[in-house]
Chain A
């Protein structure tokens, strides 16, 4: 079981994965029920569950979750629509790369959260501003990573396509894009994960709904149970979206595994 790179069986994998969560909740329970941490700093698991039910029943938390998911997905899809064609062009044509690469590399390091005050000035505190934060946080990352992926497609495959009569358009459509598709899907999965951190920051500042907003409200009331539950919900949604992405990749690109 502890040989380098030796695979473990499916059952062992599930048990080990669950074991971590059991240990985690166990440590949390000892710290809180055992009275080692005052309840104002950290609620115990039972309180958290009670607060969670309270959130759904009294504060319509399901609506907050839906709003947050909508913002992440909306901003992320917009970013992908803009970034994918640009990234592919940049990876394909060295001239486009020379033109865009310096700016995109610079823009990539601009922290999306630092734009929030500016975006509030420009777009108010409505949905547009939230979507823009996600958009700015994601778009440059996707462009750059897609460009690198497309640019590193095996040259001999491109050459083979040329000797089979493909022209430049065919090379892009029938070689570069399909060859990098699994990696592009992986990039999108990764960036979607980052988009989740941007949305919460956007909701912490100037928002009246969403998971982030609930967390700020709970902080004012020192309700650590609700804060922890909010964080756990975000983690769970991330887990589900990751799982969906991976399942979709397996279905879409059976050739890249096997």
Chain B
């Protein structure tokens, strides 16, 4: 008797598990479908798209749309492809992420280990900056960039993104460093390490997980930003997102969907890469930041 009940228990377990996997598989397919459509259609000649089925695999495989999107497609008025704008985005995102991460870490370090009168108020104000909608600052920011002579330039965009990035960076690092034992800082003080030596030699080496969290967060946000790019960049500093929009909107004559798909994938590639390379640390970092404090 008992054997029989145990048997059913196992069988129901197996059924339940099959069911769970089936549902998960379905969801995975559902999420992957758009990517499949983009990838499949970016590898077809245009005629196969206009004349046929969006869901079908290419019959005549070609990488011509990719080459076109990268180097020859019409962006606005110039037939440059996305390449120069990809470079613009890199030149914007790398310094912006680096600077906002370093400043965020420094702020976190000061707000937890060099407490001063009113530090919580300052932290509160910094947090507040995370919630200010982009649209509100557009006009004052344009004016400021103009006054500083940075209007329409990549450094100008870097500045805007750094300003916006500091809030989140500070939040991440402050919460992470709050759990960092203050006795270590005191020991280092007695050992004769100064403000920056403590930061470089003691704090930063153990900040890996939270730095990765911050870098992924900032990188995705800044790379994907459209509004600031569209508002503050001119032709020479235009980031990838704006260029992609121009590619899709400005083609005269026939819409080259295959080129658009290839361009869109190109635009998404760096963030994808960052997730794949650093994603493992992302989850770990979030855990370390929240559970252990």
On whether the two chains bind one another, the answer is no
B interface residues with partner A (beta carbon < 8 Å): none
